[in-house]
Amino acid sequence: MGQATADRFSRLFSESEPRPKRARSPVPEKPGLSWSSFKDLFRLEEGYFSLVLVTVVVYSTIWSVQVAAWVAHLEVLTLTTALGLLFGLIAVRQRWLSSWLVQPLALVLGLLIAYWQTATADFNGSFALLWAALRAWLAVALAGGTSSDDSIFLFLITALSFWLAYASVWLVYRARVPLVMILLDGAVLLINLSNVPVGYLIFLFVFLCAALLLLLRFSLFESMRRWKRLGLRCADDLGWDFMQAGLLVSLAVVILSWVLPGSYVNADAAQIWDLDSNPWVQVENAWNRLIAVNGGVIPANRGNFTNSLVLGGNPHLNSDIVFRVTSSEGGQYLASLAYDTYDGRGWSTSPTYSIALPKGQQIPPEGTPVHVVTLQITVVNPPGEQQPYLFAPWQAGQLDQPSVVLVSRNTTSIVAVLRKGAKLAAGDRYTVQSYVSSADVKTLESVPFPSEAPKLPANYEGPLPTNYYDPSILQTYLQLPPHLDPNIRTLAERLTASAHTMYDKAVALENYFRSYTYSVDVQLPPGDEPVSWLLFRSDHRAFCNYFATAMAVMARELGMPARVVTGYAPGEYDTTTHQWVIRGTQAHAWTQIYFAGYGWINFEPSPGFPSFTRPLPNQYSSSDNGSTITSNPGTSPNVPTPRRLPFPNDETATGGTSSQERGLSWQQSLSYFALSLLFALACLLMLFAIWWRRLFRHLRLTAQIYGRICLLAGWAGLGLRRAETPHEYIHRLSHVAPEQAPLLERLGDLYVRDLWAPPGSPEHPASSGEMREAPALWRQVEPRLFLYLLRHPYVLGKLPLQLIRWLWEHLRSLWGRRRSFELPTPSALEDL
């Protein structure tokens, strides 16, 4: 019955004259090598616009890999991806080799290109050195060891980029499954975007728009081909109609998905995914063992530091030496960055701005009194870093190299200090002078709770009391997620019931967790809030991330501003070299609590790690040495007064500011702007192309061409004059562009005869068959007219006036419509 219906529709929409049945064409033989067969390699039935969309999808993925900056020299991926797309297109269109032979050939070609690119980038073109590095890596892999050779990672990621581009073209044009291609590229894109600043999400926006348009274009092409097989007719420009609607729908879907809430987690799926025995975790562990990248943010066994801290399972830290430290005062905790926002699953930092810090410029201390500790830090095996963090005791005061200070936009508290340039690499060395609090126990016990501290009116302009808490600090560092277990607060109040000062309550919380057992074998149940689970449903075994989080949350429940800091514990002292040796197993997290007037004070809640010792009274007095800074730094003759950093809207600042969102440099901001501008231009060009194809579509073919000629010439300052015939106008255009005169004269003649010649007469182009020449002639003239328009953009000078005129005419028409609906006056009724 379905076949009968199809046949009925076929006869209804087919031509009146029956067409003879076409015999089934035999399978064509494999063509020989010729110029025509070579041209067929780059001829796509789906249209070149589909190839443009595939290219956009692939390159948005590759660019996300490049901005993630896993290793150096990732710029080679641009050429490698282009070669992969080209070879994929040739492999799809060729008919000389079978598919079973093409796939191994693509695999080998990808390895050869990656070998060539890696040797050129990392070994100055020496293929022998790269071969030796590959052999050494293979020996390490077979022996079960760990490798940290960046060139191996560059080799693999270059080969993968070639194969990704090749597979994308193959899946679309040969396998006919563009959805699989989009899922494959999308997975790679999301993995990389999770490790880059938020501004690079523009790649995701471009990817989604191109992917949705590609699905629409491919689905429409398949439908039109099926309709033609059934004998059904459709408009030739139907594809552009669908693409116009598809572009608008794609933009709407992407924007809507951007603003809708997310973070839905399926508990059953998450439980399966989080198991250490699932295949993905096993592959990830093997990858991290064989490819430990120095320059990237792959979770390295020596510690991995990113802008977020998610509480999960075993971090799998190893004992590789990370730093060798020479300290002027014992072992010191080295901090990377501080987190202020807890969402019930992990920590993140609120928006920041960056301040360029020249070499040798001092950072003012956030509290006093402090004493200066000098450290010389040598990088042996660099940690994993999302940004180029400089590790130093809290708080860093002065560095021997240019750096960037990240400051919280909400509180103007320092969040981290970044290296200006590349991330830490093996062999790097830097010297830092840090401020360490000199406040003794009795001094800290005198600091009141924020609820008991003095409150000042908003218009207060006098000197701030020492025990004053800034409201922005309280708002940021007392934040807690909604629906937190109320038993956490109850337990915190019970544990600190006998303590009467804020410092004593913090010590009580610290001592409580030091009675737990330190273990990295943690299995957090899916959907559980980590602090509540640790306190009430675990076996009291966890590692530093959990202890630091639990103490910070309980401190906030009691009204104490608290945050979590990550970095490294002091390590072990080497009596031979007189240096502190810090290993990967010392990657650590601890808690800081804010005391008014004295800044952030460190606390160590993790069992098995050395606790922070408080100075004795007057241990670091300025009379003993010149390394102490008090509330009045000018009283110390040996210590220069540190210059203030230029905070936003600070009129007293002497240095220049760089107010970038989330600590972005001006180069990153410029790249975001350029990417956004390119994307906007691409959307405008796409909309113009759709409008241009639909222009004058209700007119006959020659009228459409003549109308477009008039429009382009008018934009170039050669508009049609009044009482000017088509022949006269075309003749005038031919004088301006004599090289195009034959084509223009021919098109003008076809238009005139099509318009005024009697239908059916020999002079009419439709009768003589000359109408079939019009599309080919227009395809030759159109790009040359656009090129002339680019050289003579007369329309740009008139555009503002035309826009004002259009608005004026539009307002006049609206006013006329309103007046036409007004009721007649009484005098007008009397006249009637």
Predicted pLDDT at 282: 53
Structure tokens at 67: 């901005």
Predicted pLDDT at 477: 94
Distance of alpha carbon 83 from alpha carbon 597, whole angstroms:
61
Nearest to 665 by CA among 60, 205, 197, 298: 197
The larger pLDDT score, comparing residue 65 to residue 504, is at: 504
Nearest to 194 by CA among 310, 317, 108: 310
Nearest to 591 by CA among 495, 671, 485, 512: 512
Segment holding 398, helix H or strand E: strand 396-399
Looking only at the bridges linking them, the beta strands covering 334-339 and 562-568 are antiparallel
Residue pair 397/372 in contact (Cβ under 8 Å)? The answer is yes
| pLDDT band for position 816 (cuts 50, 70, 90) | low
pTM above 0.75, yes or no: no
Lowest-pLDDT choice from 169-173, 310-314, 441-445? 310-314
The larger pLDDT score, comparing residue 683 to residue 757, is at: 757
**To the nearest whole number, what is the mean pLDDT of the chain?**
77
Distance of alpha carbon 51 from alpha carbon 56, whole angstroms:
9
192, pLDDT greater than 70: yes
Predicted pLDDT at 512: 94
Give the 3-state secondary structure of residue 29. coil
Residue pair 417/385 in contact (Cβ under 8 Å)? The answer is no
The larger pLDDT score, comparing residue 267 to residue 196, is at: 196
The larger pLDDT score, comparing residue 637 to residue 787, is at: 787
Predicted pLDDT at 257: 61
Predicted pLDDT at 218: 80
Per-residue CA distances from 411 to 182, 415, 599, 692 (Å) = 42, 10, 13, 53
Lowest-pLDDT choice from 326-335, 618-627, 657-666? 657-666
> 519: buried, middle or exposed (CB in 10 Å: 19+, 13-18, 0-12)?
middle
The larger pLDDT score, comparing residue 144 to residue 71, is at: 71
The larger pLDDT score, comparing residue 252 to residue 431, is at: 431
Mention every residue, 6+ apart, whose C-beta is less than 8 A from residue 104: none
Tell me the mean pLDDT in the region 784-806.
71
Tell me the mean pLDDT in the region 58-75.
84
Nearest to 377 by CA among 585, 581, 612, 574: 581
Query: What are 728-738's pLDDT values in tens digits?
Result: 888 888 888 88
Query: What are 212-245's pLDDT values in tens digits?
Result: 888 888 887 777 778 777 777 665 555 555 666 6
Predicted pLDDT at 244: 61
Predicted pLDDT at 739: 83
313, pLDDT greater than 50: yes
Predicted pLDDT at 246: 64
Tell me the mean pLDDT in the region 622-648.
42
Mention every residue, 6+ apart, whose C-beta is less than 8 A from residue 543: 315, 518, 519, 520, 522, 606
What is the amino acid identity at position 204? L
Predicted pLDDT at 207: 86
Residue pair 660/353 in contact (Cβ under 8 Å)? The answer is yes
The larger pLDDT score, comparing residue 35 to residue 423, is at: 423
Name the residue with tokens 């990240």.
Answer: 406
The larger pLDDT score, comparing residue 668 to residue 118, is at: 118
Predicted pLDDT at 187: 87
| pLDDT band for position 260 (cuts 50, 70, 90) | low
- Percent of the chain having pLDDT more than 90? 24
Predicted pLDDT at 657: 37
Query: What are 379-418's pLDDT values in tens digits?
Result: 998 888 878 899 999 889 899 998 989 888 888 889 999 8
Give the 3-state secondary structure of residue 677. helix
The larger pLDDT score, comparing residue 812 to residue 541, is at: 541
Predicted pLDDT at 639: 36
Residue pair 732/744 in contact (Cβ under 8 Å)? The answer is no
Lowest-pLDDT choice from 2-6, 44-48, 684-688? 2-6
| pLDDT band for position 21 (cuts 50, 70, 90) | very low
269, pLDDT greater than 70: no
Mention every residue, 6+ apart, whose C-beta is less than 8 A from residue 320: 146, 301, 302, 380, 381, 583, 584
